[in-house]
Amino acid sequence: MATEVSPDAPTLRAGRRERALAQMDAYDLDILVLGRQANIRYVTGAPQLWIAGTRPFGPMCVVVRATGDIYLNSTADEGMPEEIGHDHLYGLAWNPMTLIEVLKNIDGAATARRVGTDAITPTFAALLPTAFPRAELVDGELAMRAARRIKTPDEIAAMGPALRVAENGIAAAVSELQPGLSEQTLAGAVLEAMAAGGVSTPATQDAAWVTSRAHPWRRAHPNGKVREGDLVAFAAGALAGGYVGEVGRTWPARNRRDDSTRKLYRRSNTLYDQLIAACRPGTSTGELLAAYRARAGSGFRSARCVRNALDCGPTRLPRGRNGAGDHRLRVARGRRGGISPRHGPHHRRRR
């Protein structure tokens, strides 16, 4: 972490913006109005204040296809990329009509035919036509998802630091693991180490939990304390430089590895090797799920823990079961298929 707040590197910004504008073309969007933090970071490259949880939709960022101009809701210019000038910044507002007035005055708002938003509230659905009187308001999230799905080489490079920070978070908590400690203390150790490593913006905070000996996929008990021989699941997620890095490991308390634990870990490692081997261009998520089911056996958790891609920023690609149908993995230059190792009782070989 630096001692100053800086925008993302110029090539990273340019590469992402190019992809976003290409998808605006593909989806025929004259203007994109964004409220989601990850989308805004993607198109602007400007660091933003982190607040946990969902935020209600608001017009926090506007992208104009014809000019490539970006307007951003930011009261201050610290960390602002040079291409977003002072005249393109608008301050924090509490009255939705203040924001609508800002949108009205954006070049192209009056003539836009199709305006996409990445989510909408009933209130803004009613107000936005005032700002874009000739436009059809449509979903813009699909365009952003398409843009973000394939990572540029600069993005792949940018993900590394987030993963390192998450790994260090887990390492710190594992070094403290002993019977008697609470899940909360271990979670605090993960978050403390990530912050000390420069990231006070966690992607996840459910960082440690004692697995139940009686029920699969359950916590041993609410607000549990670690007991001798427990298997403790650690899951660290860091949001660093706009990218999520998540790492998961399961560790036995007192590092006591009996035969059954070793067997479990071997099974888990084999499963992972198979899944990673199955991640090839053109593979469908259905095939990944099939590989999972074939190897996991009945004792493993349902296949929802299989992911078909390493996350970019905080939006996931579709996954199987309830969420989505069969998606093909696509690989572009720099693309990296990956499976998060954070779920379930597994212990990956430490490198």
What minimum distance in Å lies between the beta carbon of 190 and another protein?
9
Residue with tokens 């969902």: 54
Residue closer to another protein by CB (options 219, 267) is 219
Name the residue nearer to another protein (CB basis): 191 or 279.
191
Instruction: Pick the closest to residue 232 from 205, 208, 267 (CA basis).
Output: 208
Report the nearest approach of another protein to the CB of residue 37 (Å): 4
Nearest residue (CB) to another protein, 318 versus 334: 318
Question: Which residue in this structure is represented by tokens 């996409």?
Answer: 116
CB of 277 to another protein, least distance (A): 26
Beta partners for residue 32, in sequence order: 63, 116
Enter the tokens of residue 60: 């926090």
Q: Smallest gap, in angstroms, from Cβ of residue 346 to another protein?
A: 14
3-class secondary structure, 106 = coil
Token pair belonging to 314: 């905080």
CB 29 within 8 A of CB 65: yes
Measured from the CB atom, the residue of 51 and 277 that comes closer to another protein is 51
Give 77 or 107: the residue with its C-beta nearer to another protein.
Answer: 77
Q: Which residue's entry shows tokens 């005055």?
A: 105
Query: In whole angstroms, how close is the CB of 149 to another protein at the nearest point?
Result: 13
Residue 191 or 339 having the CB closest to another protein: 191
Amino acid identity of residue 273, one-letter, is D
Q: How far is the CB of 297 from another protein (least distance, A)?
A: 19
Closest CA to 315 of 40, 1, 21: 40
Q: Which secondary-structure segment (H or E) carries 279?
A: none
Q: Single out the residue of 271, 19, 350 nearest to residue 152, CA to CA.
A: 19
